[in-house]
Amino acid sequence: MERTFVAVKPDGVQRGLSGEIIRRFEQRGFKLVAAKFIQASEDQMKKHYQDLKDMPFYAGLCKYMSSGPIFAMVWEGQNVVKLVRTMLGETDPAASQPGSIRGDLCINIGRNIIHGSDTLENAKTEVDLWFKAEEFVNWTPVF
């Protein structure tokens, strides 16, 4: 089954939006298979965003992402990479439709509260970067 990496960013955590964000993915029907509340190092964030290393905002992005705790998760489900990205809205909250997470909950591209893997290939890389095999919970809903 397809998996994707999602992280509530430090601004999302500090604004108390983790629960709202998790609620949306649960209610859509995706399954949480791994989660941890951590403060990442700047080096870890540099690895995570290495594709953006030539962008002018890269250093500031890595500093912001390591400035406070994040809620890192792996969600599983059919077509989860693409559907989670649709639920997130656009990278720029100002261009995000109402009803999307960013369209409802934030305004600023530099403080866009959540990250979700953009492709299946990046999802695999990011899941492996953030989670070890033993951190996954194998479970089947029975209720």
Q: Which of 3, 9, 46, 115 is catalytic?
A: 115
96 binds ligand CMP (CB under 6 A): no
CB 109 within 8 A of CB 92: yes
- Tell me, yes or no, if 115 is annotated catalytic: yes
Residues 15-74 that bind ligand CMP (CB under 6 A): 57, 61
CB of 136 to ligand CMP, least distance (A): 22
Cβ neighbours of residue 54 under 8 Å, at least 6 residues apart?
none
Which residue in 86, 71, 143, 78 sits closest to 117, CA to CA? 86
Find how far residue 83's CA is from the centre of its chain.
13
Q: Which of residues 102-141 bind ligand CMP (CB under 6 A)?
A: 109-110, 112, 115
> DSSP state, 77?
S
Catalytic residues: 115
**Binding residues vs ligand CMP (CB under 6 A):** 57, 61, 91, 109-110, 112, 115
